[in-house]
Amino acid sequence: MAAEPMQVTLLGKQFVLMVEPFSGGYPVYSGLMVCPVCEAVWARLVWSSLLDKPYKEIRGFMCYSCAAENPHYLHPDLRPVGGSLLDNPTTGGVNYALLDAMPEVLVRREFQLHLEFYK
């Protein structure tokens, strides 16, 4: 399948990434990352072709700040890295299609988040 444009908004910064529509055999859906602690929509990942559609999957993941303050709330197997854009239950846990499409600045951010978690 050919990659398609996806608009990614992270903490107010916008990116347009060319993302494969499937990851690990699962379809990649538009989604809003909502922090269950501070209730902020800290990231928005929406297929450009669906920007005017009303439905986006709601994903309850802690933002980086809340995860740093409440690490005991992170699930070690299911949602271990607070603030990660890669965490996606509908793609089997990790959205590798998104990782493959990320520009260097987002890959570096993910790398730092994962290093902090696993140190």
CB-nearer residue toward Zn ion: 22 or 73: 73
Shortest gap between Cβ of 114 and Zn ion (angstroms)? 18
Q: Are 110 and 84 in contact (CB under 8 A)?
A: yes
Does residue 43 bind Zn ion (CB under 5 A)?
no
Does residue 63 bind Zn ion (CB under 5 A)?
yes
Does residue 66 bind Zn ion (CB under 5 A)?
yes
Q: Which residues of 26-53 are buried (b: 16+ CB within 10 A; e: fewer)?
A: eebbbbbbbbeeeeeebbbbbbeeeeee
Does residue 41 bind Zn ion (CB under 5 A)?
no
3-state secondary structure of 105: helix
Alpha helix ranges (H) inside the chain = 64-69, 96-101, 104-118
Span from 2-10, 20-28, 38-46, 101-109 in contact with Zn ion (CB under 5 A): 38-46
In the complex, the residues that contact Zn ion under the rule CB under 5 A are: 35, 37-38, 63, 66
